[in-house]
Structure 1
Amino acid sequence: MGSFNRSSGVLKKSNDGARLIITTILGVVFGFFVGVTFPAISVTKLNLPPHVLSSIDVAIIEDRRSGGTNKDLETKPSWIRNSSTENNQSGDPTKIYVETNPRGAELLPPGIVVPQTDFYLRRLWGNPNEDLTIKPKYLVTFTVGYEQRKNIDAAVKKFSENFQILLFHYDGRTSEWDQFDWSKRAIHVSIKKQTKWWYAKRFLHPDVVAAYDYIFIWDEDLGVEHFNAEKYIELVKKHGLEISQPGLEPNKGLTWQMTKRRGDSEVHKETEEKPGWCGDPHLPPCAAFVEIMAPVFSRDAWRCVWHMIQNDLVHGWGLDFALRRCVEPAHEKIGVVDSQWIVHQVIPSLGNQGESEEGKAPWQGVRERCKFEWMQFQSRFADADKQYFAQMVKG
């Protein structure tokens, strides 16, 4: 009996071993077929807790799937291994990289990106959705000194609540303007001894003024007795003007025929100049031309003009001849509004902000800089055109 029991134990152990071997083989075969049948699953697609994901080297797992090795990854700099672009391409749902976002915002979800802003004044309390009882549709900027406060007061009163007022102060005096009720609702930017084009380049980026349909960039010495802003906007829209200005009183020694007011029309878009001045009737100064003292830009036109303004050329001389580059066809979309006209008072206030050098009056130095900038702007544009068309020929 003892001998029989020993034999039965040996037989039982042999059977258990055989079953274990068979089970192992079947498990391997089953696993093989499962691996072939189903696509590889990346741990990056598993909804694991962050503390688990952080302990897994996802980069190594992904690289093995693509045939790489641990050694290959180790030789890459960490900023490449961990870049948002690679994580995005690898399908990592915990990383964000959106190429269509504005430059610099690629790491943000599109739903949180706010690429544009405005000059609307907001409260420090309450529901943000209830801050604004009215949203001005147009922006009016004046570059001012305190000495012209009466003139600016008269001008601002020609604009309704549909117009946001923005004052650029070249003399540094701002608080004194609070004597006017409208000044408390205006935006004030104070930097001494700068021009309106310097301010425009730095504070009127297209994405900053995108909320406004039209942008007025005006001097401080304009008489507006015969001007109505709402009617002006109506005429600009009616005649399809992307860049415009009010007509100028013709008895003030003006240089250009194009910008003189005509008494028999609402708007004009072309004129006749002195013999030899206009080689093409559709080009400045006979068409597609307004002066830089009181221009008005549509939102789309300003986006182009802002990029054309040179950062170091602050007087804007030469811009009036180049504005046509920003609209097409320019001779139809640039014009002068005759029935809403202004008077250029020719007050040399900005010239007095210069400094006397080599015995010259301050205004003389400013005027020389204006002429120099005009030549520089023309030269840069000519060179840029030349380079572009040369590259096009090579391409």
Structure 2
Amino acid sequence: MGVPLRSGNVIKPSEMTRLTITTFAGVFLGFLIGVSFPTLSLTKINFPSSLFLSIDLTYIEDKHSGLSTRKLFSALSSLKDDKVVMVASNKSEKTKIWIPTNPRGAERLPPGIITSESDFYLHRLWGQPSEDLTIKPKYLVTFTVGYNQKSNIDAAVKKFSENFTIMLFHYDGLTTEWDEFEWSKRAIHVSVQKQTKWWYAKRFLHPDIAVPYDYIFIWDEDLGVENFDAEEYIKLVRRHGLEISQPGLDANSASLTWAMTRKRDNTEVHMDTEERPGWCSDQHLPPCASFVEIMATVFSRDAWRCVWHMIQNDLVHGWGLDFALRKCVEPSHEKIGVVDAQWIVHQGVPSLGNQGQPVGRKASWQGVRERCRKEWTMFQDRMTAAEKAYYEAVESNPF
């Protein structure tokens, strides 16, 4: 006597047919999808670079003699989208490295050895390098000087503490004569005759060299500093968040062209002024705000990185630059100001102007002044043209 089957375990012919049709339909549909789907490009897969650097290609080559390391790495390097490429085909070949994120010119170096920034710190020729510096100055001050102004510069330098690196740009070619001052032996001396401070600044104060310094002072040689203390000045600049600044000018200064730079009493700093009628179309723009002169300018590290790029190679006097400094900080009318509590006297000594004539001819300050005015016009024209071209490009390509 047979055992009756439960109705639930019996597969009816109609159900078997439906199952078979469904199975074949699924396989066919999967085939169509597989054929129509684009081929997966492994070059688009971005693996961490550390993954490839940790692979021992020599070991793989030993285990699979049919694959050369070069061929294997060629395939692996395509997977990492050219972020790091290292080739070690055999012991006789040097390792090659290509890292596009390295500074320009150093793409082939391993990142750990790259030093892209430098400084003006002095080092000994003996002993341990780690023991060279007893103190690392946090600020930089430069003066463009001639030896005739040695007394003035000596007085000025003594207003700056050991927290400052001192740098002298010599336009008269005299350098060793300054060794009569003890501080001169620790200073950095750059000597190129008959050049201006903006010529020196463009060529010797690249932002990657000045980067260790929180503030960079770029000063003339004819400044009276009896009422100035550099450390106190830095405190005020920090307190008021100034990125570009200058000390106030005493009323006894040789020339006071702008109301903005005149020292005020009973205030620490000021960032705007009332100029002559019609001189300011906008109270947030120069010369009523966002403005200091270029005789005793002080820049923060970030501001200098921008300003350096704006200095023109051929416009060496810097005329017009003071009106454009505002483009390097935002909001400029809050970040550019005059420090009243630490003030100076502009003596107006035209010593650099006396260098302005060819050898064998009588020196004339007038020729230098004419060149200054020409440069002012050229700078303004270049800035206007550059901004116009930029905004036209933005309008034509908004995305």
Could you say which TM-score interval applies, normalised by the shorter chain? 0.7 to 0.9
2:240 equivalent in structure 1: 239
1:326 equivalent in structure 2: 328
1:327 Cα deviation after fit: 0.2
- Comparing 324-333 with 97-106, greater Cα deviation is found at 97-106
Aligned-residue identity in percent: 68
1:265 equivalent in structure 2: 267
- 1:191 pairs with 2:192: yes
Retained in 2: the 8 A contact 1:290–1:336?
A: yes
2:355 equivalent in structure 1: 353
1:226 Cα deviation after fit: 0.3
Q: Which one of the candidate residues 381, 385, 391 is aligned to 1:383?
A: 385
Letter of the aligned partner of 1:112 in structure 2?
Answer: I
Correspondence list, 1:80-91, <5 A:
none
Retained in 1: the 8 A contact 2:70–2:87?
A: no
For 1:107, what is the secondary structure of its paired residue?
coil
1:291 equivalent in structure 2: 293
The CA distance in 2 between the partners of 1:95 and 1:159, in whole Å, is 48
Retained in 2: the 8 A contact 1:45–1:92?
A: no
Unmatched runs of 5 consecutive residues or more in structure 1: 1-38, 51-55, 67-84
For 1:295, what is the secondary structure of its paired residue?
strand
Retained in 2: the 8 A contact 1:88–1:96?
A: no
1:148 equivalent in structure 2: 149
The CA distance in 2 between the partners of 1:62 and 1:111, in whole Å, is 22
* CA pair 115-365 structure 1, distance change in 2 beyond 3 A: same
Letter of the aligned partner of 2:189 in structure 1?
Answer: H
1:337 Cα deviation after fit: 0.2
1:251 Cα deviation after fit: 3.5
1:214 Cα deviation after fit: 0.2
The CA distance in 2 between the partners of 1:150 and 1:313, in whole Å, is 30
Deviations 1:191-225 (A, max 9, x none): 00000000000000000011100000000000000
2:228 equivalent in structure 1: 227
* CA pair 90-137 structure 1, distance change in 2 beyond 3 A: closer
2:214 equivalent in structure 1: 213
1:96 equivalent in structure 2: 97
The CA distance in 2 between the partners of 1:186 and 1:245, in whole Å, is 23
1:393 equivalent in structure 2: 395
Q: RMSD over aligned Cα, in angstroms? A: 2.8
* CA pair 306-215 structure 1, distance change in 2 beyond 3 A: same
Deviations 1:158-203 (A, max 9, x none): 0110011000000000001000000001010000000000000000
Q: Which one of the candidate residues 359, 364, 367 is aligned to 1:365?
A: 367
Correspondence list, 1:2-41, <5 A:
none
- Comparing 100-109 with 271-280, greater Cα deviation is found at 100-109
The CA distance in 1 between the partners of 2:71 and 2:161, in whole Å, is 64
2:46 equivalent in structure 1: none
* CA pair 281-107 structure 1, distance change in 2 beyond 3 A: same
The CA distance in 2 between the partners of 1:144 and 1:91, in whole Å, is 51
Deviations 1:2-39 (A, max 9, x none): xxxxxxxxxxxxxxxxxxxxxxxxxxxxxxxxxxxxx9
Retained in 2: the 8 A contact 1:356–1:365?
A: no
Letter of the aligned partner of 2:117 in structure 1?
Answer: Q
2:32 equivalent in structure 1: none
2:304 equivalent in structure 1: 302
For 1:173, what is the secondary structure of its paired residue?
coil
Letter of the aligned partner of 2:211 in structure 1?
Answer: A
* CA pair 324-87 structure 1, distance change in 2 beyond 3 A: closer
The CA distance in 2 between the partners of 1:217 and 1:117, in whole Å, is 19
For 1:99, what is the secondary structure of its paired residue?
coil
Letter of the aligned partner of 2:259 in structure 1?
Answer: Q
For 1:197, what is the secondary structure of its paired residue?
helix
* CA pair 385-46 structure 1, distance change in 2 beyond 3 A: same
Q: Which one of the candidate residues 271, 274, 277 is aligned to 2:276?
A: 274
The CA distance in 2 between the partners of 1:271 and 1:191, in whole Å, is 38
Letter of the aligned partner of 1:279 in structure 2?
Answer: S
Retained in 2: the 8 A contact 1:142–1:218?
A: yes
1:101 Cα deviation after fit: 1.1
TM-score w.r.t. the length of structure 1 is: 0.79
Letter of the aligned partner of 2:159 in structure 1?
Answer: K
The CA distance in 1 between the partners of 2:60 and 2:250, in whole Å, is 74
Retained in 2: the 8 A contact 1:247–1:340?
A: yes
Q: Which one of the candidate residues 14, 21, 46 is aligned to 2:57?
A: 46
The CA distance in 2 between the partners of 1:62 and 1:100, in whole Å, is 21
Retained in 1: the 8 A contact 2:326–2:332?
A: yes
Letter of the aligned partner of 2:179 in structure 1?
Answer: D
* CA pair 335-376 structure 1, distance change in 2 beyond 3 A: same
Deviations 1:326-377 (A, max 9, x none): 00000000000001000000000011001169x9952111111111111110
Aligned residues: 333
* CA pair 351-45 structure 1, distance change in 2 beyond 3 A: same
1:60 Cα deviation after fit: 6.1
Letter of the aligned partner of 2:197 in structure 1?
Answer: K
* CA pair 277-360 structure 1, distance change in 2 beyond 3 A: farther
1:31 equivalent in structure 2: none
Correspondence list, 1:53-202, <5 A:
92=87, 94-202=95-203
Unmatched runs of 5 consecutive residues or more in structure 2: 1-41, 43-51, 62-66, 89-94
The CA distance in 2 between the partners of 1:200 and 1:257, in whole Å, is 27
The CA distance in 2 between the partners of 1:158 and 1:320, in whole Å, is 25
1:48 Cα deviation after fit: 6.2
